[in-house]
Structure 1
Amino acid sequence: MFEANIRKRLSATMLVAALSVLLTGCFVTPGKFDSTLVLNKDESFSFTYTGEIFFLGLSQMALMGNGGEAEFSAGGCYDEETYEERECTAEELAKQRAEWEADAEDRKAEQLKKTKEMAAMLGGIDPTDPEAGRQLATKLERQLGWNKVEYLGDGVFNVDFAISGMLSHDISFPVIENLPVPTPFVQVVLRKGSQVRVNAPAFAASDTGNPMATGMLGMMAGLGGALTEKDDESAEEAINGIPVLEGTFSIVTDGQILANNTDEGPSESAEGQTLIWQVSPMTKAAPTALIKLGS
């Protein structure tokens, strides 16, 4: 009983720490998806992404960390000699409640501070507002390329994104107005000599370009087995609600493929050559390729 109580308290503490770090970075990740980048010799391009995008700042975790005031819950009482858990006396319970009530204003102020910080990271959208997800969906649909943005709940959006044009500048996806995205899903970087470097740092479970976020996600995944008490069911559901990284990223080009890290290399197609990466939680290296365009 003593070990179970300690494990429960540690799990709750670790969860709060993970939330604090990740939410300040407005963590955005892919879920299940299909994405294709077409690069042509004449330096025209097209890019599509269909599938899930997950915003941790809008998930159940944000609501857990910034919702209403929690009810008083008595802590454990232990024998001073044996350290075995025992029933608290009425006096001990009264003291715990008085200390809890004395900290009410500090808790309220901290919750308000976190809510304001997350709202700033989300371009002014309050993540505790039940309509926050729909507000963000409307915001995204105003931007070029976002053909459909459907909010599924718990921070998960189903999107249909497509854009095309000429490679006159570097490209990054996603770009969201007034909202920082620490780790791009896909980057297209132009080099001299008509060379194009393509990187997809978010399409790898252990190579996100954000070591802190990777470590925190690993810690939260480990909590799944620890949060088994009834009082922690909401936390367990929130962790399990994070979409699984699963999808296909393809590059189609009639240019010259100078380098890539696919398992099988390019395959011939009617449009030229195709590179395909099957992305899953087991993917360790982010997709990357170097392609020469022009004549």
Structure 2
Amino acid sequence: MNYWKVLAAALITPLALAACLLLPGKFQSTLTIHADRSFSYAYKGEIIATDALETTSAENFTDDGTVPDPTEAAAEKARKEAVFREVAAKMAKETGYRSVAYRGDGVFDVDYEISGKLTHNFVFPYNQDAKMIFPFFAIELRGKDLVRVQAPGFAARQGPDHDGSNSRLDGTFTLITDAEIVSQNHADGARPSGGNNTIRWKVTPDTDIAPTVVLKVEAL
């Protein structure tokens, strides 16, 4: 079964919430982490939303397997569009979003940038008001002086059997750091430039490994 659908069902069903499962589309994303724990993150491009409550069943059929009435289908589409417009409005209120434009059919054009200090975990995107789930990537504090970056949203195919796929995934995720790189999973490794090291992952529907890196930073 599709990995995204399974995760959405697991997260949402116990809470009985109308939530949005988000996927990256075309994008450029850059994460900078310094040894002193200062960081900045930018994402510019598409975010694609689906109604996570309905991803566990086929969209073109009703529960009894029949084709839905065109009028009902139109009403359902209008309902979804209204929900997504509301999601866009809530996203735009969050710190970091320079602009959020809803194009229709679940596609948002987003310009996001934020900076701060890594004294706590960080995930993107996440908005409790909009009930957005499954962030594209997360920064986790590991012990006193390590941080781990994992980006499962920037891999189209998930699991050992490559279950699930994001066919619209098309982007670049770039990590820039002057911290010590403890481990990373890019085939070509890091490239030095101006006192920093840069790792750039090109992600497509064929990407099967989520970008991952562990850095050693200033101890808390």
Structure 1 unaligned regions, length at least 5: 1-17, 73-107, 116-125, 219-241
Give the number of the structure whose residues are more often helix, by fraction: 1
Give the number of the structure whose residues are more often strand, by fraction: 2
Match of 1:268 in 2: 192
Counterpart amino acid of residue 118 in structure 2 = L
* 2:49 matches 1:55: yes
Of 138, 144, 147, the residue aligned with 1:193 is 144
Contact 2:38 2:118 (C-alpha < 8 Å) held by counterparts? yes
Report the Cα distance in structure 1 between the residues aligned to 2:80 and 2:190, rounded to whole angstroms.
Answer: 47
Report the Cα distance in structure 1 between the residues aligned to 2:209 and 2:99, rounded to whole angstroms.
Answer: 30
What is the deviation of 1:183?
A: 2.5
Alignment CA distance shift 1:71-1:263 (3 Å): closer
Match of 1:128 in 2: 79
Structure with greater Cα Rg: 1
Match of 1:70 in 2: 69
The worse-fitting range, judged by mean Cα deviation, of 242-251 and 33-42 is 242-251
Report the Cα distance in structure 2 between the residues aligned to 1:161 and 1:208, rounded to whole angstroms.
Answer: 29
Match of 1:101 in 2: none
Match of 2:65 in 1: none
Q: TM-score normalised to the size of structure 2?
A: 0.76
SS of corresponding position for 2:20: coil
Q: Percent sequence identity over matched residues?
A: 35
Report the Cα distance in structure 2 between the residues aligned to 1:291 and 1:269, rounded to whole angstroms.
Answer: 17
Report the Cα distance in structure 1 between the residues aligned to 2:185 and 2:213, rounded to whole angstroms.
Answer: 7
Contact 1:246 1:279 (C-alpha < 8 Å) held by counterparts? yes
Alignment CA distance shift 1:208-1:49 (3 Å): farther
Match of 1:10 in 2: none
* 2:70 matches 1:146: no
What is the deviation of 1:191?
A: 1.4
What is the deviation of 1:205?
A: 1.2
Report the Cα distance in structure 2 between the residues aligned to 1:189 and 1:270, rounded to whole angstroms.
Answer: 26
* 2:153 matches 1:159: no
What is the deviation of 1:137?
A: 1.3
Alignment CA distance shift 1:184-1:193 (3 Å): same
Alignment CA distance shift 1:253-1:130 (3 Å): closer
Contact 1:32 1:52 (C-alpha < 8 Å) held by counterparts? yes
Counterpart amino acid of residue 189 in structure 2 = G
